[in-house]
Amino acid sequence: MKKKRPTTEAVRTTGSRGHPLFDHMALPVTNVAKSRDWYVKNLDFKIEFENAGITAIQDSAGFTIFLAKAAKSLAGEKVTLTIQVKSVDRKHKELASLGIKFVNSPQNLFWGYGAELRDPDGYMINLWDQISMRKANRQKSKTT
């Protein structure tokens, strides 16, 4: 019998069997207000709070990113943020219509089906959705 995995929201609020839960992260940015507005407008994050130059934005599952002014230049390697959306294709169309440039439009990539874009500081954003990813994985398994 296949074990049913807990939903994202259930894991966000309880952890999985008491294991550690990745709950917050700090993301250095060159302009806190610009980054806040970009994530809120384009990826539907909500502002959790703003205090002492830090803005906390939160996704729909309760994961919080602290946007903080970078002390130095942000040159070099950066983290990649992978964000689940309802539909990669629809989100791509919506953002492209707003003039957002994509590194890769929706397609099969090394990590699965999705789209890639960069935020104002050059952080890579991977967009994916459950339905497209499952479909891509089924097609991949049929060809291997």
Specify the pLDDT at position 11: 46
Query: 102 — phi, psi (to 5°)?
Result: -105, 140
Query: Based on the number of CB atoms within 10 Å of its own CB, is 129 exposed (0-12), middle (13-18) or buried (19 or more)?
Result: buried
Specify the pLDDT at position 5: 43
What is the rounded average pLDDT for all residues in the chain? 85
User: What's the average model confidence in pLDDT over 23-45?
Assistant: 95
Nearest Cα to Cα of residue 101 among 34, 29, 42, 37: 42
Instruction: Read off the pLDDT of residues 49-90 as tens digits, 9 standing for 90 and up.
Output: 999 999 999 999 899 999 999 988 777 778 899 999 999 999
User: What's the average model confidence in pLDDT over 106-115?
Assistant: 91
Total residues belonging to the chain: 144
CA 61 – CA 47 distance, rounded (Å): 13
- pTM for this model (two decimals): 0.78
